[in-house]
Amino acid sequence: MKGGFMLRILSIGIVLAITASTTRTAQAQRAPDMATLDRGDGISKFGVDLGFTSLDTPFYSSALRLELSGQYVLDSGLGFYGALPISRSFGDAPPPSPQAATALGNLELGLLFVVSSSPTVSWVFRGGVALPTADDDVDGVTTNYYAAWPRITDLALAAPNSIYGRLGISPLIHVDRVFLRLDLGLDIGDDDNDAADELVRINVGGGIDLGVVALSLELANIASLDDFDEDERFLHSLALTFRFMGEQLQPFLTIGAPLDDSTRNAVTFFVAGGIQFAP
């Protein structure tokens, strides 16, 4: 039942994007990207991110997350995107505690459509599918979760044995040197055990573009329509990002931490860096 509902929602999103692409022409807006929020905008780009999470758990001391991502946007505003994370955890706790591992995340593929209502405002609509490629053993699942904090908005890419339909809408504002982004999204999970959480994403970020470098403050919020565990239904992270605004190459560095008291007992902080190429 839930799988059929997910496919209907995803199909509606894709049909709307394709229909819109035949009636409107989008003008790409080059606002600085934000490291921890959604990536979709009107620019074709490809990137690699590497995130480090400092942990204080009985079994892991830290985790790394490498992610390849990219999108290609046509002149009509219709685009295609994809992302694939790989994680690595570090620790030396004896069994049966989770062991250090290298784990693959879920592969996400999808469509997006960009509409520019004015020279300063753009709207990004996206619909995608996270395919069940993530490791499903205890070590892999634990590794993927703890490594996800540099991009907690993509927690669905860590869920094992699950297909997720991912829908989102993002208004982008770039006025003079000020830029703002709001993400509203819904991740609808489907698995054989009916254990995949439905996730609501509400992210907001803003910053200043100084020309050579852009600074942004980013708040990522994710809520489970089921409980993450007995105590937590919401997860939040706050990050500060420095992005160097080259014409084609844009390296970035971000540092952040979870805001939830219970999470901070295990996740101390995260740092991420990477580079983006816009041909």
> 56-113, pLDDT tens digit by residue?
999 999 999 999 999 999 999 999 999 999 999 999 999 999 999 999 999 999 999 9
pLDDT band at 7 (very low <50, low <70, confident <90, very high): low
The encoded tokens of residue 212 equal 């050579």
Res 27: pLDDT: 46
What dihedral angle (degrees, nearest 10) is formed by the CA atoms of 156, 20, 124, 83? 40
Taking the domains of the chain in order of start, what are their residue ranges? 2-277
Res 172: pLDDT: 96
Class of the CATH-defined domain 2-277 = mainly beta
Is the pLDDT reported for residue 17 higher than 80? no
* Dihedral angle sign, alpha carbons of residues 61, 263, 202, 219: negative
As a whole-number percent, the residues of the chain with pLDDT over 70 amount to 86
Entry pTM = 0.87
| pLDDT top residue among 200 and 14 | 200
Provide, for the chain, the percentages of residues in helix, strand and coil under a 3-state DSSP scheme, each rounded to the nearest 5.
Answer: 15, 50, 35
Tell which residue, 63, 48, 68, 79, has the closest CA to residue 170.
79
| pLDDT top residue among 209 and 18 | 209
Name 114's Cβ contacts closer than 8 Å, sequence gap at least 6: 26, 28, 29, 40, 41, 42, 73, 77, 79, 122, 123, 124, 125
Residues 209, 215: Cα–Cα separation, whole Å:
7
The encoded tokens of residue 91 equal 């620790």
Res 194: pLDDT: 65
Res 25: pLDDT: 44
Name the 3-class secondary structure at 7.
Answer: helix
Residues 93, 58: Cα–Cα separation, whole Å:
7
Residues 160, 104: Cα–Cα separation, whole Å:
10
